[in-house]
Structure 1
């Protein structure tokens, strides 16, 4: 029985990985990937109209998939929720074989024309983590959870890129501190909500935010959320 052939885009990515540490996610890398993979140039340009940028995004998405697979196999039952989030971020970083691939990616997505792609990729990672951990929020908390985790993940990966400690122990300690900072914010929010005086002061903004709905609850309008006039 013959094994199924890999998709052209996957073949291009695998061929590109050997060149990225030297040439970045660049036109040179994309040209080399076409040559090394044997994928026809017209096919390569069809599946990757933006060249190596599309391959960089695919590389990130494959890392997310590896993280989700490891999460599905992990025993998270005895963990606190914050520990599950930390484990997910750690799994995501451990899915990376070569730091230089990510370092080159951060350089690429720091460029103004690709900044939105980089932000979307990080948001996608945060969204994947929350969904895998069973998040059921359908209001403004859907956005705030993903925005907060995106910030934690971004800061952690930048720290990780420069970390040469044994087993990246310093990175995991850094991650724990960032999550602890987030938990302090959540505790403050709870204190404000429970305070008779402060809860009245924020009643207006709270009412406003209560009408923001998560995308999955929205009609097919192409917009990331909706305003509930009811």
Structure 2
């Protein structure tokens, strides 16, 4: 059994998608990031960066519980544990790793910052919006070019696709971006049609919408982030 400390965000969806794809037994432990539950001492013991997702694998290495934070590390660990969605041969393996790192270092941060300045920032800062929008578009072009020569990011469907899809699926709200990137659209459609992906993104998707009020904004982006613990 794996305890998944989770909230329905792109990074959370990475892990639920993998768990659904592989059929591993898991239990959701909700971490309401709008209420500051990510700062609870018991959570910080397994995720010192006060970010979800995190896991506790009760059947970890040596048969002992093993905790892990950072979504990319969790995907690598679970792929090794199950022997799925991660090739064993070096060339193919590092092809997956490089595209996973592409998501972790590029797609996630740039799309995240764009989303923040477009939808969450208390004031509109044109330079920031333009900066992160341009970089997000550049990354979509990288994906489009890669998918022109490969069905999936690393050849076969892998943890690299699971990591990237939740961050870029919102591009569906901008049809003009899909029209100019047919290979990207084909990839989005193929992944979105997978039953396990549908189940993964549905986990806790029925939460009622909450406005981003001043209290939630302070918890997510304010000074609490810098408190010494």
Question: Is TM (by shorter chain) over 0.5?
Answer: no
Greater fraction of residues in strand:
2
Q: Which has the larger radius of gyration?
A: 1
Q: Which structure's relative contact order is higher, taking Cα pairs within 8 Å and 6+ residues apart?
A: 2
The bucket for the TM-score relative to the shorter chain is under 0.3
